[in-house]
């Protein structure tokens, strides 16, 4: 666990560093640049008994230094990413007529959820190097593969993972999901499916002009189980033996109550 | 009506799960099998993680076997001594099964192992039961060879040392035989989420030669205890018992079982067994095809 924390921490530090440099960029260059004032509709998503997913609204304003909207296109990309997980991806192959797991690949920091939404297709906004730096787009996720496999095999597994999670709505790109009105206000909807794990998610907003990211901001969103769901999950984890006993007693009680109720009638 | 399952980590339609429990409970009441062999595969088809499906359906079986045990106890249809021996074997088997389950989970072969075991077990039992029921119904001519008088005890079992008397079963045999039987069914309970009645009942009749009136009650007693122990094993090792899922299944199956029992009093038992055999073969065929067809997901993800 500590290793995961450190790794996650290291990534967070790297990312915050990148954002800091962005924030200082106008000062260094001695020239006023637009600023972002971002917000998120929900800072906390609660998983309750009828949780079927959530829809986040990421919105905000672009503040130009002297209130003047400059020439040229201003674009926004927003990225919501879930906690990094250590995972193993297995690949099925046909062995003696049966499809079974044969090869596998470990990844040290695969995001549990990743959604990127932009005002125009990412390929039109930034070059490959920039999108790799900011991890914009599914092709640019840094998953940190752990085993010493060939790069070809690693790519195959990465593509498999991305494809699997895309179909599960856990990873997606929406190339026209950000609406910008009057070059000032922007908003984007990101839907989060029910199957996401709990944890700290980050919502990042990037302001892009002329192929460069000129401002960025991040907000944290906590997704957590609350109330009964949290109590059950914690109980099952911390007091597993008592939880097992309770499960057995509950099923005995229900079975007995059912037969008793029907015998009388 | 969607309900979030706290351990499985996803939302399911509660009415759908209750309906599944009801259908399986109906079969339980109708034919007298636990129905775990249907619940687990259907839950897996529905998208519940296999480990959670197996563990939670075990918990559900504990509940459904209670009323059966009580009913058989009232008419003295339970051999407690035999039951205790089989339960001891079952708990040993379940413990070993727990290690096997975690080993297979770690090496990524648990899904394939579950599917292959289901195909083999359901296929062979469905086939045997279909043949037996068709013979009884007169669809197939009885072979003359079968009418030859068989020895009451299997020679292999009779040769085992240390004999005990089991009065209610009408047996004087070594306890090692029922112990081994319990052991095998205990492993299956952990791996497959089944009570194991569909193995234990035929084995009690054909291998051990127990008197027919205590077979079902004793098997249910064993199922009650072994699934209870298995729930504990899953709760402490794989941590995949979903109490909400098990409760939903139970609500359905407890009610469904009562209707099944009522219909069972009117229907022909051979016809019911043929019906069950067809269901077994159907599930086995579906799982066999699942193994052989190119799966929709080539890649699977497991958390470390």
Q: What is the reported pLDDT for A145?
A: 83
Name the strand (E) or helix (H) holding A185: strand A185-192
Chain A residues within an 8 Å CB radius of B29 = none
Q: Which residues of chain A does B64 touch, with a Cβ-Cβ cutoff of 8 Å?
A: 255
Structure tokens given for B198: 């569909």
A2, pLDDT greater than 70: no
Report the share of chain A in percent with pLDDT over 70. 86
- Chain B environment of A157 (Cβ under 8 Å): 299
Residues 86-105 of A with CB under 8 A from B: 86-92, 94, 97-101, 104
pLDDT given at position A22? 56
Report the C-alpha gap between A64 and A184 in whole angstroms.
8
pLDDT for position A200: 92
Residue A3 scores a pLDDT above 70: no
A206 sits in the region (left: phi over 0; alpha: psi -120 to 50; else beta) called beta
pTM for the full predicted model: 0.74
Band (A19; pLDDT cuts 50, 70, 90): low
In this prediction, residues A206-219 reach a mean pLDDT of: 88
Closest to A251 (Cβ–Cβ): which among B6, B59, B301? Answer: B59
Per-residue model confidence as pLDDT tens digits over A150-206: 888 888 888 999 999 998 889 999 998 899 988 889 999 999 888 888 889 999 999
pLDDT at A30 exceeding the cut of 50? no
Asked if B67 lies within 8 A of A259 by C-beta distance, the reply is: yes
**pLDDT of A13:** 52
Cα B41 to the chain's mean position, in Å?
A: 12
Q: Which two tokens stand for residue A89?
A: 């991806």
Decide if pLDDT at A11 tops 60: no
State whether CATH 3.90.1200.10 applies to domain A2-225.
no
Q: In angstroms, how far is CA B242 from the centroid of its own chain?
A: 19
- Where are any strands of DSSP class E within chain B? 2-5, 10-13, 164-166, 171-173, 299-303
B238 touches chain A (CB under 8 A): no
Report the DSSP pairing between strands A171-174 and A114-118: parallel
Q: Which of residues 111-150 of A touch B (CB under 8 A)?
A: none
Answer for the pair B93, A89: CB distance below 8 angstroms, yes or no: no
The rounded distance, in Å, linking the Cα atoms of A40 and A42 is 5
Query: Which tokens hold the place of A262?
Result: 């029907």
The Cα-based distances of B223 to A17, A45, A163, B218, B220 in angstroms read: 60, 42, 42, 9, 5
Distance CA A36, CA B32 (A): 67
- How confident is the model over A38-78, as pLDDT tens digits? 888 888 888 877 777 888 899 999 888 877 777 778 889 99
8 Å CB contact of B298 and A92: yes
Please indicate if any CB of chain B lies within 8 Å of the CB of A254.
yes
- Within chain A, which residue ranges are assigned CATH 2.60.40.3880? 2-225
pLDDT digits (tens, 9 = 90+) for B241-283: 999 999 999 999 888 888 887 787 777 777 877 888 888 888 8
Structure-model confidence comparison of residues A5 and A133, the more confident one: A133
Name the token pair of B299.
């890649």
Note whether ipTM > 0.85 here.
no
Assign A114 a pLDDT band (cuts: 50, 70, 90): very high
- For residue range B138-170, what is the model confidence (pLDDT) as tens digits? 777 665 544 444 555 666 776 777 777 777 777
Q: ∠ CA B236-B249-B263 to the nearest 5 degrees? A: 135
The pLDDT of residue A28 is 47
For chain A, give the mean pLDDT: 82
- How many other C-beta atoms are found inside a 10 Å radius of the C-beta of residue B303? 10
Question: Which residues in chain B have their CB less than 8 angstroms from residue A244's CB?
Answer: 231-236, 241
pLDDT band of A1, cuts 50, 70, 90: very low
* pLDDT tens track for A141-157: 888 888 767 888 888 88
Task: Give dist(CA B262, CA B265) in Å, integer.
Answer: 6
At residue A231, the pLDDT reads 84
Per-residue pLDDT averaged across A127-136, rounded?
88
Note the pLDDT of residue A18.
58
Low-confidence ranges of chain B (pLDDT < 50): 145-149
**pLDDT of A80 strictly over 90:** yes
Looking up tokens 């040392």 gives B161
How would DSSP label each residue in B164-229?
Answer: EEETTTTEEE-THHHHHHHHHHHHHHHHH----HHHHHHIIIIII---HHHHHHHHHHHHHHHHHH
Min distance A91 CA to chain B CA atoms (Å): 5
């Amino acid at each position: 666990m500590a290793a995961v924390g450190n790794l996650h921490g290291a990534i967070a530090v790297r990312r915050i560093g990148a954002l800091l440099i962005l924030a200082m960029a106008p000062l260094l260059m001695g020239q006023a640049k637009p600023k972002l004032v971002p917000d998120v509709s929900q800072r906390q998503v609660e998983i309750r008994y009828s949780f079927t997913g959530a829809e986040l609204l990421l919105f905000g304003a672009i503040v130009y230094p002297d209130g003047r909207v400059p020439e040229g296109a201003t674009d926004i990309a927003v990225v919501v990413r879930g906690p990094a997980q250590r995972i193993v991806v297995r690949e099925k192959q046909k062995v003696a007529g049966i499809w079974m797991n044969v090869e596998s690949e470990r990844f040290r920091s695969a995001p549990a959820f990743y959604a990127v939404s932009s005002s125009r297709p990412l390929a039109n906004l930034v070059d490959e190097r920039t999108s790799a730096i900011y991890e914009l787009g599914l092709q640019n996720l840094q998953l940190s593969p752990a085993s010493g496999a060939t790069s070809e095999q690693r790519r195959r597994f990465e593509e498999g993972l991305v494809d699997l999670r895309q179909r599960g709505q856990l990873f997606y790109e929406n190339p026209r999901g950000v609406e910008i009105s009057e070059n000032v206000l922007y908003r984007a909807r990101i839907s989060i499916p029910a199957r996401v794990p709990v944890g700290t998610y980050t919502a990042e907003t990037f302001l892009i002009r002329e192929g460069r990211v000129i401002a960025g901001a991040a907000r944290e969103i906590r997704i957590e189980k609350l109330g009964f769901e949290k109590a059950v999950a914690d109980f099952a984890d911390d007091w597993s033996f008592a939880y097992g006993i309770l499960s057995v007693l509950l099923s005995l009680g229900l079975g007995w109550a059912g037969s008793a109720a029907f015998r009388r009638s | 009506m969607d309900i979030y399952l706290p351990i499985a980590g996803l939302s399911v339609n509660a009415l759908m799960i209750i309906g599944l429990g009801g259908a399986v409970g109906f079969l339980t009441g109708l034919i007298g099998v636990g129905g775990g062999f249907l619940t687990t595969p259907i839950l897996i088809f529905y998208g519940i993680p296999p480990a959670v499906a197996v563990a939670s359906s075990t918990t559900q079986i504990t509940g459904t076997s209670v009323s059966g045990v009580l009913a058989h106890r009232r008419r003295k249809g339970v051999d407690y001594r035999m039951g205790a021996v089989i339960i001891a074997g079952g708990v040993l088997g379940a413990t070993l099964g727990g290690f096997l389950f975690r080993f297979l989970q770690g090496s990524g072969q648990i899904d394939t192992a579950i599917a292959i075991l289901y195909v083999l077990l359901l296929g062979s039992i469905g086939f045997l039961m279909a043949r037996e029921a068709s013979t009884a119904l007169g669809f197939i001519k009885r072979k003359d060879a079968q009418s030859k008088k068989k020895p009451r005890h299997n020679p292999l079992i009779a040769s085992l040392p240390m004999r005990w008397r089991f009065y209610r079963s009408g047996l004087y045999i070594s306890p090692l035989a029922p112990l081994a039987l319990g052991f095998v069914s205990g492993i299956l309970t952990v791996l497959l989420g089944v009570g194991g009645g569909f193995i234990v009942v035929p084995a009690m009749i054909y291998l051990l030669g127990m008197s027919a009136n205590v077979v079902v009650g004793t098997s249910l007693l064993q199922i009650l205890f072994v699934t209870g122990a298995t729930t504990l094993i899953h709760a402490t090792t794989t941590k995949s018992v979903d109490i909400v899922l098990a409760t939903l299944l139970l609500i359905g199956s407890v009610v469904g079982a009562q209707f099944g029992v009522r219909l069972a009093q009117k229907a022909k038992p051979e016809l019911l067994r043929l019906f069950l055999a067809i269901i077994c073969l159907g599930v086995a065929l579906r799982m066999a095809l699942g193994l052989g067809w190119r799966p929709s997901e080539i890649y699977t993800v497991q958390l470390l």
